[in-house]
Structure 1
Amino acid sequence: MSRCTAPSDVRQRGRADVASPGAAMRGAVVGAVVVALAGIGAPADAAPGPTPTEPVVSGAVVNSGKDVIVGITHDVAFPVTVTGADDSGLSFVDVDLKGPHGGFYTTDAFCETATACTTAFTVNAHPAPGSDDPVDLANANAGTWKVDALVDTHDGDSVFAPGVASFGLKRAARLTVNAAPEPVAKGATITVTGKLVRANWDTYRYAGYTGQAVKLQFRPKDSDTYTTVATVNTNSTGNLHAKVKAAKDGYWRWNFAGTTTTGPAKAAGDYVDVR
């Protein structure tokens, strides 16, 4: 972190320089007693002022609660909103994102309200224009990332909240599907093939994703709902292969749920006419 939270004893000393309302009241009470003895009425005691509170960070939301999924061609921008409270209101936030194998991003911003501060991040895993050098991410950085937040308040206090949130920064995946023959006789065999690939942030290409469980799903022509028919593992090159019986007209697709390092993917349904 480029900045750190001021120690609590420093903040306390700063506040101690302000004259205590209670001390002033004690002086007023003594004076009032003397006046009362002389037969003159005394003024009523005033209530002490509110005690300042320490700032708190209550949480953070990354990318509206969704994983950040990055391919190999485009920048991906997403917000991080830190929320908290202070009697003077939040004024400024410094946010660090920390990931596996040294992954790191940082940015800061003024708070848009007294209780919320939103920063914007942009990440990518493609070469810089006219260069073969990577701009940001490597494959080893994919996985679970943590959020650290340092928030300043309008009255000069600050609070540091390490690990206030976490999120998945994942490699993008793609799926294809082909169901054949088309058309097909009812009761005959349909062969459904496809391929699962994912972004390689080291080579800036998509490559087959090996040994992954992928669901084969079917949706009848007159329905909006897909049903899982089988689960098939990808081979050494990411290819998929399954054989099913033709029962009715409808759409076939592959559906991959994703992993801790790779985002989900669904193939567009391939329609088969059963006669």
Structure 2
Amino acid sequence: MNRTAQPGRVLLAGTTALAAVLLGAPNAQAAESDISFSEIVFNGGRPIVVGITNPVDLPLTYTVRSTVDLSGWNVNAYRGTLGAENERVLVASSTRWSCATTTASGYTYRRCDETVTVDPRWIRTGGGLVNGDATEWKTWGLGHKAAGGHDSDTNSATVILQRASRIQDHNASPEPVAKGGTITVKGTVQRANWTAHRYDDYGGRLVSLQFKPAGSSTYTTVKKVTASSGGALKTTVTATQDGTWRWKYYGNTTTGASSSSGDYVDVQ
């Protein structure tokens, strides 16, 4: 596999041994200031929410400063300790990149904008994300010198990965319903299980039931319902006007937010 870094392209450390070669040493952090990375921002500073199958495209921006010519560079995220057995390097392949270059006081600055893709099925040596990866990741950059050699630079910026949630089996009934009658709204809240590559019912979650009147574009929360241990949602409301019902889960530190599809109920 060709591991030569390309300008603006994310280079992936596939194994601990390879990462050790790329980094040179655990403390190799561009101490001589030949190359440094700053202003690293994944996904506009928002958590990266990932399901079990579909790759997720997201923006990555950063600045590379150097006093030497570069043949390439890359930015990535990791957790654990770089070069150690617990190291996990996020696979974020680059699909688009551009860098604006300026010079000042002997430094070359490259302000780079990329679109990167995180694939839940691919990390390190072919394995995918596991549930323990839903946490805060650190960031680092690696620059390759045109004359040979490289510098790595760990960064204070971080990025959070979250497991995707979803609400299934949403239904508001009966349809139609008499004004003043009772509408029963059901659903099931689930969360991505990265380790097992499936969605599991996510019990005990506090989920908002929301309503959007006919002719409106805005949902408002009517009540909050706690899912059963099996993730089931069920509640009743009084029918007062035509409109659309949905469930909204706002997520938590390890889990992303989600909404059900809307279900329109005609009130007669």
Q: What's the TM-score, normalizing by structure 1?
A: 0.69
Deviation at 1:190, TM superposition (A): 1.1
Is 2:74–2:141's contact at 8 Å kept on the other side of the alignment? yes
Is 1:94–1:108's contact at 8 Å kept on the other side of the alignment? no
Higher helix share: 1
Is 1:102–1:141's contact at 8 Å kept on the other side of the alignment? no
One-letter code aligned to 2:165: A
One-letter code aligned to 1:260: T
Deviation at 1:216, TM superposition (A): 0.5
RMSD: 3.3
1:187–1:123 distance in 2 versus 1, CA, 3 Å: same
1:203 to 178, 192, 196: 196
1:141 and 2:141 correspond: no
1:57 and 2:52 correspond: no
Is 2:51–2:163's contact at 8 Å kept on the other side of the alignment? yes
Question: What's 2:119 paired with?
Answer: 123
2:63 to 74, 80, 83: 83
Question: What's 2:243 paired with?
Answer: 250
The 3-state SS of whatever aligns with 2:72 is: strand
Q: How many residues are aligned here?
A: 225
Unpaired segments of 5 or more residues in structure 2?
Answer: 1-19, 81-85, 102-109
Larger RCO (CA within 8 A; separation ≥ 6): 2
1:112 to 99, 119, 129: 99
Q: Measure, in 2, the Cα distance between the counterparts of 1:234 and 1:108.
A: 37
Q: Measure, in 2, the Cα distance between the counterparts of 1:154 and 1:116.
A: 19
1:99–1:198 distance in 2 versus 1, CA, 3 Å: same
One-letter code aligned to 1:116: R
Question: What's 1:42 paired with?
Answer: none
> How do residues 1-275 of structure 1 correspond to structure 2 at under 5 angstroms?
2-3=22-23, 4-5=28-29, 7-8=31-32, 56-86=36-66, 92-99=72-79, 102-105=87-90, 112-114=99-101, 115-117=110-112, 120-125=116-121, 135-151=127-143, 160-176=152-168, 177-275=170-268
Q: Measure, in 2, the Cα distance between the counterparts of 1:58 and 1:153.
A: 18
Unpaired segments of 5 or more residues in structure 1?
Answer: 12-53, 127-132
Q: Measure, in 2, the Cα distance between the counterparts of 1:270 and 1:107.
A: 36
Is 1:148–1:162's contact at 8 Å kept on the other side of the alignment? yes
One-letter code aligned to 1:261: T
1:188–1:7 distance in 2 versus 1, CA, 3 Å: closer
1:262–1:244 distance in 2 versus 1, CA, 3 Å: same
Is 2:38–2:155's contact at 8 Å kept on the other side of the alignment? no
Q: What's the TM-score, normalizing by structure 2?
A: 0.71
